[in-house]
């Protein structure tokens, strides 16, 4: 059987491809790109149909971070000129979230810069979560606050958070090259803490930071093992004023191959098209919808996203539909696992993906 048929078969059965197969996807020539997209698209449709989940990002606190992540415009000493402010009030966060919900967002991601929250920060975010949930009972709330300390994930869950995001970003091997103020294993620990508190884990990567194909396969296989429910795939925006300024290593075709590889390795997981899609995928963004089943709507974090209206038009033009609030995003087996761990209570690990 040829490579793509093998990968489709494995994806439909939730079977892990080999590393060689994942590497071969990244090495396919441009003339075979549409075959790769079509094959990974079959796996995407099996688990998520033609639905696209919309997510909306609310920046609770921006800039002035003491950490030195080299890709980040909010890092220590950044000269990227991003907006800096400290903690939105709960009603400000709720009105920002309302704009996303009005645009069709099903999930609101509450993001704060910094190494991790203090207990007082968790109080503030808990109030914001409660206010958002009072106003929009159906919306999923994901917190993204950095490294968690003991008990913080449980408190966020009690406040009503549905999910927690913390990305691995790159392979364990190359992590020290992009950040020296915390480690890869710190990040893994936080994803595990969130998951065992009954929060849906969201963890992904950033491509285009100078990594090799092997690094990309390493981080995606590590994510499969960690088994988050959603995997955001970011493409580097090399902001001026950061150490990675001028690092333009991706092409739209390579971005599609990366997304296809992620889909084959994590077939039944919400693969989210995240930062950098406009600047790196450019006019090929609609093809990415055949691979990712989730996108950020409109403007996000410290960069300008496409306006929300243009996103909705792109989804409709490409023959996809926005996922409604009454639809469960994850396939039945994954959502049942999450419900089971919440019933059993915090401290229970989810079973690993098949
Ligand atoms: S910890 Fe977060 S906000 Fe701070 S530099 Fe790293 S990615 Fe940016």
Determine the 3-state secondary structure of 252 from DSSP: helix
pLDDT of residue 335: 83
- Cβ neighbours for 58, distance < 8 A, ≥ 6 positions apart: 88, 93, 96, 97, 100, 108, 109, 110, 111
Q: Residue 75 C-alpha to ligand 1 middle, in angstroms?
A: 6
Active site residue 272: yes
What are the pLDDT digits (tens) for 210-265?
A: 999 999 999 999 999 999 999 999 999 999 999 999 999 999 999 999 999 999 99
For the chain, domains (ranges, CATH) are 3-343 (3.20.20.70)
Closest by Cα among 152, 330, 136 to 227: 330
Structure confidence at residue 344 (pLDDT): 67
- Told to judge if 255 belongs to the known catalytic residues of this protein, a careful annotator would answer no
Active-site residue, 202 included: yes
Distance 66 CA to ligand 1 centre (A): 8
Ligand 1 neighbour 117 (Cβ under 6 A): no
Is 266 a known active-site residue?
Answer: no
pLDDT of residue 64: 82
Q: Are 109 and 58 spatial neighbours (Cβ–Cβ below 8 Å)? A: yes
Residue nearest to atom 3 of ligand 1 (CA): 113
In whole angstroms, what is the distance from residue 133 CA to residue 250 CA?
A: 39
Q: Which of 14, 124, 195, 202 is catalytic?
A: 202
What tokens were used for 245?
């300024």
Cβ(113) to ligand 1 under 6 A? yes
Are the CB atoms for 201 and 227 separated by under 8 Å?
yes
Residue spans of the chain under pLDDT 50? 301-302, 351-354
Q: 104 near 297, Cβ under 8 Å?
A: yes
* DSSP helix/strand/coil, 232: strand
The radius of gyration of the chain from alpha carbons, rounded to an integer in Å, stands at: 19
């Amino acid at each position: 059987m040829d490579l793509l048929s093998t990968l489709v078969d494995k994806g439909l059965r939730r079977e892990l491809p080999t590393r060689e197969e994942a590497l071969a996807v990244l090495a396919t020539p441009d003339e075979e790109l549409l075959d790769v997209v079509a094959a990974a698209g079959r796996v995407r449709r099996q688990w998520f149909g033609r639905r696209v989940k919309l997510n909306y990002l609310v920046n609770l606190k921006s800039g002035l971070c003491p950490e030195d992540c080299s890709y980040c415009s909010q890092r220590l000493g950044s000269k990227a000129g991003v907006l800096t402010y400290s903690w939105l009030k709960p009603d400000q966060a709720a009105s920002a979230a309302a704009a996303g919900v009005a645009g069709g967002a099903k999930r609101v991601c509450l993001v704060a810069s910094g190494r991790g929250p203090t207990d007082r920060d968790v109080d503030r975010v808990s109030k914001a979560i409660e206010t958002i949930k009072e106003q929009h009972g159906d919306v999923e709330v994901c917190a993204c606050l950095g490294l968690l300390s003991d008990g913080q994930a449980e408190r966020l869950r009690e406040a009503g958070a549905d999910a927690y995001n913390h990305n691995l970003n790159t392979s364990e091997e190359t992590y020290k090259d992009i950040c020296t103020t915390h480690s890869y294993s710190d990040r893994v620990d936080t994803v595990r803490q969130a998951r065992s508190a009954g929060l849906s884990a969201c963890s992904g990567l950033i491509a285009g930071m100078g990594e090799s194909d092997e690094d990309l396969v390493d981080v995606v296989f590590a994510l499969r093992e960690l088994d988050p429910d959603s995997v955001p795939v970011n493409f580097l925006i090399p902001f001026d004023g950061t150490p990675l300024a001028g690092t333009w290593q991706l092409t739209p075709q390579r971005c599609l191959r990366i997304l296809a590889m992620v889909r084959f390795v994590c077939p039944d997981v919400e693969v989210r098209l995240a930062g950098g899609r406009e600047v790196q995928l450019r006019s090929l963004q609609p093809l990415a919808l055949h691979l990712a089943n989730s996108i950020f709507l409109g403007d996000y974090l410290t960069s300008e996203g496409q306006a929300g209206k243009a996103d909705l038009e792109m989804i409709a033009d490409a023959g996809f539909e926005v996922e409604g609030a009454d639809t469960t995003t994850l396939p039945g087996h994954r959502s049942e696992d999450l419900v089971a761990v919440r019933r059993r209570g915090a401290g229970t690990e989810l079973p690993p993906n098949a």
